[in-house]
Structure 1
Amino acid sequence: MAILGNLLVMVAVCWDRQLRKIKTNYFIVSLAFADLLVSVLVMPFGAIELVQDIWIYGEMFCLVRTSLDVLLTTASIFHLCCISLDRYYAICCQPLVYRNKMTPLRIALMLGGCWVIPTFISFLPIMQGWNNIGIIDLIEKRKFNQNSNSTYCVFMVNKPYAITCSVVAFYIPFLLMVLAYYRIYVTAKEHAHQIQMLQRAGASSESRPQSADQHSTHRMRTETKAAKTLCIIMGCFCLCWAPFFVTNIVDPFIDYSVPGQVWTAFLWLGYINSGLNPFLYAFLNKSFRRAFLIILCCDDERYRRPSILGQTVPCSTTTINGSTHVLRKDFLFGRDILARHWTKPVRVDPFSGTLSIRCLTVRKPVLG
């Protein structure tokens, strides 16, 4: 599932031009590539060792496999952090600020950092043996399998490496993600309140009063949806990786007394995150789901984006916080979604004092 899900994400973005226009999707594709490599280069060898209870690929490949493990899982976490920062700038800042912050060069630098920085806590120290300093005798003792007279691929770390690796690979990204998603949630609540005000004003101007219960229900649904989405993302991330990195930073200070079975369980729990990421960051997105359906259903026309046929619809004006806004009824998309949209403040003639309104038009979509 992890391989299929991540491959679908990559193919969808490469195939769908609209998905390529969204900056966040560059991070999602790179994340999918990292998770795909985890599924192909790391997990199979770990599964073989787990089933056979022996490492048969030699000491050098053990170091390479361990380095790839640290590199790719850290890169995956870094991508999750970058996605949260990208969403923060997109939702919590003005559009101009987002365009200035998330330039193509900055996106390229962030993606490069997601892959380069992990090498300094993976291949460099592991191949140099810096993580083994002071505990080499303990590692040699634990890597020997007395039952089969063979060896395991054992990865143990000293205190300096455990602290450095855990802080860089997990705790700093985790803190940034918590702060970013908290601000996103607060902003979503503010936006829901503003939308409620505009809807009330629009209903009043059209002489179509709505009850307070309806507005409260709409606002509550908006806030609940945002809260659920953020809770799912952060909950899955913490559930998958927190046990491993808490154990990783504690074990050297308690004389490496954590059982090997616990280490294995926590490590594979982290691997599960590589299979969950496509569902959390892509499958929950309508545009991605439509692209997946088209790919899996051999370019079925039923799942293509709606074509444009049209007619104009009425619009009305309202004043909120001293600014005049144009509101218009929007089309029914699906079954029961009736949204209201508004434009920037309209122009007032400073000489005559008359209000100049240019009513916007909406074209009703027809699928197929």
Structure 2
Amino acid sequence: MDLYNSTPQLSTVLPPMDSSGDIVFAVCLGLLSIFGAVGNCLTILAVIIDRKLRSHTANYFIVNLAVADLMVFTAIEPFLSFSTAMSRWPFSDTLCVTLAALVIKHLVVSDFIMASIAINRYVSIVRHRIYHKLFTPGRTLLVCLACWIPGIITIIVQVVPPYYAQFIPYYGTCVIVSLHSPVTTRAVSILSGIVILFSILLSSLCYALIYWTIRQSKRRVRSNGPTGSGSANTPTDPTSDSAGSAATTQPVVNRNNCASKADVALSLNLFIVFAVFCICWTPLAVVIILENAIVGGITLQSERPLPYWVWPAAYRLVLFNSTFNIFIYAWKNRNFRSAYFRILRCRKC
């Protein structure tokens, strides 16, 4: 039996979005999918072929995030761009199910990757003594792979028969609805929103502790005086930009084997990535929880707690998020920037 055709169509409950700006958005989405695919491929290649980038296990998480974003640009956004322009789904039902599953996967996996990056940076700065023992190349790869497991489990829960998927112009994507237990669909949606918020809170805590540790180190630097006038264990300022000074190579506190300036700089770069992630993802998490916890998900317009423009705006913000990372890497990381230039100029790293 064709579940897709034998089930009630959600478009009878949800009116389509205002199509006045759909064409413009579809064109922008198509261009961003091309640029994002190229940008994330550059990031992955940069870590693979550049020895400096490859030697730092924290960059494994950057590659993991780039792979997750690459799936958005190659397997999600091109189809969304075309269907948004047409305000309908012109492809097969199987492809609609696949797209809906990939969207769910991306929501969950990206959150776990961002949380794992924050934990990695926390250990690197605050618990530096155990960092190289805990985050060996092999263990780091296992952590990266483990980030994908929750996304796979979420998809499996969603596609337990009977179910169907349909493209909803209002949501701007295909959605999976379980016919066996509608509560399952609602619970998974609420859980997805909670996972997003939890990953943001956990990451915020990690970066707050990193900031506190660096600030305490800078206070000790000021209290102990300039480097070189004290003992061999005098800490150096991890944020100093003096070229050729000891601060560019010395640890923050030699005696305690704390993080180097390179670790601090990388943590700052990844914090910017996280801050952009928070700006783009928090509205969607709040909307998901409100629409499913208060009114039970898809329902009539008169019963909806939020205006109709809220969800499309929040979801589109998430789609644009994946294009920002390459700019951040190129802007704040000299090694990534030089690796990008060498790849574009076809020079050996």
Match 2:213 to one of 167, 187, 198: 187
| 2:135 aligned partner | 102
Check the 8 A contact 1:28/1:281 in 2, yes or no.
no
SS at match of 2:89: coil
| 1:93 aligned partner | 127
Closer, same or farther in 2 for the Cα pair 1:143/1:115, shift >3 Å?
Answer: closer
SS at match of 2:157: helix
| 2:191 aligned partner | 164
C-alpha offsets along residues 65-91 of structure 1, whole Å, 9 cap, x if unaligned?
A: 010111123222221211111111111
Answer with 1 or 2: which has the greater Rg: 1
Q: Which whole-Å CA distance do the structure 1 matches of 2:189 and 2:44 have between them? A: 33
| 1:119 aligned partner | 152
Q: Which whole-Å CA distance do the structure 2 matches of 1:226 and 1:112 have between them? A: 22
Check the 8 A contact 1:185/1:226 in 2, yes or no.
no
Q: Which whole-Å CA distance do the structure 1 matches of 2:270 and 2:174 have between them? A: 37
1:187 Cα deviation (Å)?
0.9
1:292 Cα deviation (Å)?
1.4
2:53 partner amino acid: L
1:126 partner amino acid: Q
Q: Which whole-Å CA distance do the structure 2 matches of 1:172 and 1:113 have between them? A: 17
1:194 Cα deviation (Å)?
3.0
Check the 8 A contact 1:30/1:111 in 2, yes or no.
yes
2:290 partner amino acid: V
Q: Which whole-Å CA distance do the structure 1 matches of 2:229 and 2:314 have between them? A: 54
Q: Which whole-Å CA distance do the structure 1 matches of 2:78 and 2:267 have between them? A: 36
Structure 1 gaps, min length 5:
146-151, 206-213, 215-221, 305-368
Q: Which whole-Å CA distance do the structure 2 matches of 1:125 and 1:99 have between them? A: 37
Q: Is residue 30 of structure 2 the alignment partner of residue 4 of structure 1?
A: no
Q: Which whole-Å CA distance do the structure 1 matches of 2:151 and 2:42 have between them? A: 25
1:172 partner amino acid: F
1:289 Cα deviation (Å)?
1.1
Q: Which whole-Å CA distance do the structure 1 matches of 2:160 and 2:37 have between them? A: 31
- Bigger fraction of residues in strand: 1
Q: Which whole-Å CA distance do the structure 2 matches of 1:227 and 1:23 have between them? A: 13
Match 2:99 to one of 30, 47, 65: 65
| 2:86 aligned partner | 52
1:277 Cα deviation (Å)?
2.3
| 1:200 aligned partner | 226
1:192 Cα deviation (Å)?
1.9
1:273-352 maps to which residues of 2 (within 5 A)? Answer: 273-281=321-329, 283-299=331-347
| 2:290 aligned partner | 250
1:79-90 maps to which residues of 2 (within 5 A)? Answer: 79-90=113-124
How many equivalent residue pairs?
269
Closer, same or farther in 2 for the Cα pair 1:113/1:281, shift >3 Å?
Answer: farther
Tell me the percent identity: 29
Match 1:30 to one of 40, 64, 73: 64
Higher relative contact order (CA 8 A, sep 6+): 2
1:103 Cα deviation (Å)?
2.5
Closer, same or farther in 2 for the Cα pair 1:6/1:227, shift >3 Å?
Answer: closer
Q: Which whole-Å CA distance do the structure 2 matches of 1:106 and 1:60 have between them? A: 36
Check the 8 A contact 2:192/2:285 in 1, yes or no.
no
TM-score (norm 1): 0.64
Closer, same or farther in 2 for the Cα pair 1:104/1:297, shift >3 Å?
Answer: closer
1:198 Cα deviation (Å)?
5.1
Q: Which whole-Å CA distance do the structure 2 matches of 1:120 and 1:15 have between them? A: 33
- Aligned-residue RMSD, C-alpha: 3.3
